Chains A and B, each alone.
Chain A
Amino acid sequence: MSISEKTDTSLKATALLDLHQELGAKMVPFAGYSMPVQYAPGILGEHRFVRSSAGIFDISHMQQATLEGPGAIAFLEKITACEVQNLTHGKYSYTQILNDKGGIIDDMMITKWPGRDDKIYIVNNAASADKVNAYVERHLSTDTKMLPITDRGMIAVQGPKAHRLLADCADMTFLQWRDTTVLGTQCYVSRSGYTGEDGFELSLHNDDIAGFVKKLLAHKDDIMMIGLGARDSLRLEAGMCLYGQDLDEETTPIEADLLWSVGKRRRTKGGFLGADIVQRQIAEGVMRKRVGIIVHDRAPARAGAQIVPKDGGDSIGVVRSGCFSPTLEKPILMGYVDINHVKPETQLGIAVRGKILPAEVTKLPFVSHKYQR
């Protein structure tokens, strides 16, 4: 077998790099950063610990920015199908930046800054940052600016014990966002996450992050650092999309089963890039849809594997994300499937290494969410 290990000294570092290395993390390049894929417990152990207890994720590679100016709301309503006008201030919202074909440029979280109609906080994927910035520049009007936030990093604290360790935030409800103090440290905090568990995402000044994380890690029996490997299996169990795998510029929010994130007013009124296509798909339906699939076998199916009818035959879809589910102890996957085969309990086949693995469509999420609404 081949094992390659490249060292790339041109990678960017987050404020937690020293801590990751002290803990013996296995570091990998990710979106131009050196990031931990796992620590000593390993991916399965870390995954299970988040579901049973709590974990801290370094997500400082993600791009934080603000959109500022009198045209900020109008601008965001032009490039996304989000309900921004009537969005409550300090409510964290999931949306996608669209191109003129209704295709997804990136997915992101946004919130209207408390008390301001001219400032919106946004968080994008690290890997999409350059593309998003260029796209925004092209479509910005003169009365709005996009200002990347470069002196702050982000962490996520996720799991059933998270609220006990962050008592200052325990009164927040799901998707509430605050600019406040937690454990004596200034931060932007939201009750949100990418694991399906209850938890929080915190933006802190780079100088404060390591100290903050170490305070949490002192609760040795309750919380540990979690790497990108477990982050991926957790979000897949939660049925959440990863841009670049489950979402791309050739996929619309309707095909991606993200209609819930399209504002009701936006569905009828339009007024966003790609609205004509999105509105048509809402009215007439789509040819393919993102679904969750459970494999009745032990072999995991990975991105790119073809989905076929139960007894074989021509491809009816493709796997976009797949992994072994530590919670269900079965391989799970998300893929895009021909619209005639998307009903839950539809039996399908997944072509892996010359074999057809038996599988079936299932409702998402694979593991139910624990949000504190």
Chain B
Amino acid sequence: MAKQYSEGHEWIEVEDGIATIGVTDFAQQRMGDVVFVELPEPGAAIEQGEEVAVIESVKAASEVFAPLSGEILDVNTNLTDNPALINEAAEEDGWMVKIRLSQESQLEKLMTAEAYEQFCAQ
């Protein structure tokens, strides 16, 4: 299924009810060099709009808010030793969490790649 995007600058890729989520390339460019990523515990429940991660760049800490509700299945532990993955490959190897979705209807509010591009150009 094609990647979708949120107004909070996250990308979401869904397969069999599991969403892989990260921050977009647009977001990582704005943040600058990432030096630390705080990720949630697998097994935790997360609500749409709740803080799910924190990205520390050289300049500031940015909270990442969950675009969807569900249960955290997995987190990208590579980001512990290599937080720069978010700068190098935000939308591929820099993925942050995998969530088993509890409300798939929430997907309807997300944007396509084209719509996100327009959103960023505003």
Q: Are B54 and A324 in contact (CB under 8 A)?
A: no
B116 adjacent to chain A (CB < 8 Å): no
Contact yes or no, A324 B58, CB < 8 A: yes
Query: In the complex, what's the smallest C-beta–C-beta distance from B40 to chain A, in angstroms?
Result: 12
Q: Is B35's CB within 8 Å of the partner chain A?
A: yes
Is B74 positioned at the interface, with any CB of A under 8 Å from its CB? no
Q: Are A3 and B56 interface neighbours, CB within 8 A? A: no
Is A29 an interface residue, CB under 8 A from the partner?
no
- Most B CB within 10 A of own CB, among A26, A38, A44, A229: A44
Q: Assess whether A300 is in contact with B35, with CB atoms less than 8 Å apart.
A: yes
CB distance from B61 to the nearest CB of A (A): 7
Determine if A37 and B27 form an interchain contact, defined as CB atoms under 8 angstroms apart: no
Chain B residues with Cβ below 8 Å from A38 are 32
B38 within 8 A of A: yes
Contact status A1-B80, CB under 8 Å: no
* A1 partner, pick from B27, B33, B56, B59, beta carbons under 8 A: B27
Q: Is the CB of A299 within 8 A of B56?
A: yes
Asked if A161 is an interface residue, CB under 8 A from chain B, the answer is no
How far is A38 from B31 in the complex, measured between Cα atoms in Å? 11
Closest to B56 in A: A300
What is the minimal beta-carbon distance from A228 to any residue of chain B, in angstroms?
A: 10
Question: Residue-by-residue, is B26-37 near A (CB-CB < 8 Å gives 1, otherwise 0)?
Answer: 110011110110
Contact with A along B20-58 (1 / 0, CB 8 A): 000100110011110110100000000000000011101
A229 touches B32 (CB 8 A): yes
Decide if B58 touches A233 in the complex (CB within 8 Å): yes
**Nearest CB in chain A: distance from B52 CB, A:** 10
Known contacts A229-B59, A302-B61, A324-B58: A1-B32 contact under CB 8 Å = no
The distance in angstroms between the C-alpha atoms of A2 and B64, with both chains bound, is 8
In the bound complex, do residue A3 and residue B54 qualify as a contact, i.e. CB atoms below 8 Å apart? no
Does any Cβ of A come within 8 Å of B76's Cβ?
no
Q: A43-B58, A302-B61, A353-B54 are in contact. Are A3 and B27 (CB under 8 A)?
A: yes
User: Is A171 on the interface with B (CB-CB < 8 A)?
Assistant: no
B9, B54, B56 pick with most chain A CB within 10 angstroms: B56
Name the contact of B38 in the complex, choosing from A302, A323, A353 (C-beta under 8 A): A353
Measured CA separation A331–B55 after assembly (Å) = 14
Task: Tell whether A71 is near chain B: CB-to-CB under 8 Å.
Answer: no
On whether A1 and B23 interact (CB within 8 A), knowing A38-B32, A42-B33, A43-B33, the answer reads: yes
B33 touching A44, Cβ below 8 Å: yes
Chain A contact-residue range equals 20 to 34
Given contacts A37-B59, A298-B80, contact A5 B32 (CB under 8 A): no
- What is the bound-complex CA distance between A304 and B57, given in angstroms? 17
B58 touches A299 (CB 8 A): no
CA distance A339 to B80 in the complex (A): 35
Q: Given contacts A1-B9, A1-B27, A3-B9, is CB(A299)–CB(B62) below 8 Å?
A: no
Q: Is B8 an interface residue when CB atoms closer than 8 A count as contact?
A: yes
**Cα(A42)–Cα(B29), bound, Å:** 10
Given A37-B59, A229-B59, is A3 in contact with B30 using a C-beta cutoff of 8 Å?
yes
Contact in complex: B36, A324 (CB < 8 Å): yes
Nearest Cβ on chain A to B119's Cβ, whole angstroms: 11
Residues of A within 8 A of B31 (CB): 3
CB distance from A270 to the nearest CB of B (A): 42
Among candidates A5, A44, A45, A298, residue contacting B36 with C-beta atoms closer than 8 Å: A298
Q: A299 and B38 in contact (CB under 8 A), knowing A3-B30, A324-B58?
A: yes
Shortest CB distance A352–B (Å):
9
Which chain A residue shows the least CB distance to B65? A1
Q: Contact between B27 and A229 (Cβ–Cβ < 8 Å)?
A: no
Is B10 in the interface zone, CB < 8 Å from A? yes
Complex partner residue of B32 from A43, A300, A353, CB under 8 angstroms: A43
Contact across chains for A42 and B61 when beta carbons are under 8 A apart: no
Q: How far is the CA of A300 from the CA of B56 in the complex (A)?
A: 7
Docked pose: A339 CA to B103 CA in angstroms: 54
Q: What per-residue 1/0 map shows which CB atoms of B58-76 lie under 8 Å from chain A?
A: 1111111100000000000
In the complex formed, the residue of A with least CB distance to B23 is A1
Residues in B neighbouring A299, C-beta threshold 8 A: 36, 38, 56
Chain B positions within 8 Å of A324 at CB level: 35-36, 56, 58
> Per-position contact with A for B89-108: 1 when CB-CB < 8 Å, else 0?
00000000000000000000
Which residues of B line the A interface, CB within 8 A?
8-10, 23, 26-27, 30-33, 35-36, 38, 54-56, 58-65, 80, 83, 87
A-B contact sample (12 more), CB < 8 A, given A3-B30, A299-B38, A300-B35: A1-B55, A1-B63, A42-B33, A42-B87, A44-B35, A44-B58, A229-B59, A298-B80, A299-B36, A323-B58, A324-B35, A353-B38
